[in-house]
Amino acid sequence: MNSLFDAAEQCLSACRIEEKLQLTQQIALAWYQGCLSYTCSNEPQLIGEPGRPEKPLLVSPGEVPKRRLGTPSGLIALIHAVAHIEFNAINLAWDAVYRFRDLPQQYYSDWIRVAVEESHHFELLRGRLVELDSDYGELPAHNGLWEMAVRTAFDPMVRMALVPRVLEARGLDVTPGIINRLRQIGDEKTIAILEVIMRDEIGHVAIGSCWFKYICAQRNVDPEQTFIQLIRKYFSGQLNGPFHHAARRQAGFTETELAEMACIEVSATSVQQ
């Protein structure tokens, strides 16, 4: 029986978009049909960069095109930025599968499901770009999500805390506002895509919350205290609000966590000022 971890590595390494999307579907089907084992004798290797197409050009966050929705180019820039996040999220999901071993079988099923849904989101957004006479890769993008994946590769507890529950959860905060702005310009097609993404992303962040709390319980550490400690360590002066409390509660955040994050966000704002 082939190894799930070898299959995940193959998908991570794929550079062509079509290949990565096809492998995602094939590996997921093989897993759910019971054709892949989750035992492997090889230790996971640090993946400095996953397979990606030559474009988009990766730049610093400040060099990414502005997203002014009042213009066609601004709308394309917005959709391209979200598409890039979703493409990165495919790699992040497969890395969560490949990198962390000896977890319950449900952990791998959960992250495979995330990879499949992220690939669907990417295809929807790419299709919308094509409708607007553009395509993924035609604008530069930044690599912040994957950089945090590298920084958290040493520990699944830290990964679950900081990638799904901080970086990816930011989408829960900002997407409703983007939808409202799109409604003002009558872009119902993009709104429909973002509503699908918003619904699914609540589930993805909830998966991160679930496995973060599971690992905390295994290590006999308090999840609320540990989460806040990790935010202070890795995001000192950088936590952005405001937070969408209702969506975050659905995604597994506690009232204590939300209150502490608000305090950190206020502190971060004062530092920036």
> What is the tens place of the pLDDT at every residue in 189-235?
999 999 999 999 999 999 999 999 999 999 999 999 999 999 999 88
Residue 202 to residue 212: CA distance in whole angstroms: 15
pLDDT value, residue 269: 38
String of b and e for 28-55 (b: at least 16 CB within 10 Å)?
A: bebbeeeebebeeeeebeebeebbbeee
Q: Give the residue from 164, 89, 165, 160 showing the smallest Cα distance to 120.
A: 89
Domain boundaries, the chain: 2-46+55-272
pLDDT, greater one: 202 or 149: 202
68 or 20, greater pLDDT: 20
Burial class (CB in 10 A: 0-12, 13-18, 19+), 155: middle
CATH topology of domain 2-46+55-272: Ferritin (1.20.1260)
SS (H, E, C) the chain: CEEHHHHHHHHHHCCCHHHHHHHHHHHHHHHHCCCEECCCCCCCCCCCCCCCCCCCCECCHHHCCCCCCCCHHHHHHHHHHHHHHHHHHHHHHHHHHHHCCCCCHHHHHHHHHHHHHHHHHHHHHHHHHHHCCCCCCCCCECCHHHHHHHHCCCCHHHHHHHHHHHHHCHHHHHHHHHHHHHHHCCCHHHHHHHHHHHHHHHHHHHHHHHHHHHHHHHHCCCHHHHHHHHHHHHCCCCCCCCCCHHHHHHCCCCHHHHHHHHHHHHHHHHHHC
The pTM score is 0.93
Structure tokens at 8: 């995940």
Report whether 122 contacts 90 (CB < 8 A).
yes
Dihedral (C-alpha) 82, 87, 92, 93: value to the nearest 10 degrees?
100
Decide: 89 and 208 in contact? Cβ < 8 Å. no
78-131 pLDDT tens trace: 999 999 999 999 999 999 999 999 999 999 999 999 999 999 999 999 999 999
Can you tell me the distance from the alpha carbon of 220 to that of 37, in angstroms, rounded to the nearest whole number? 29
Query: pLDDT-based confidence at 268, cuts 50/70/90?
Result: very low
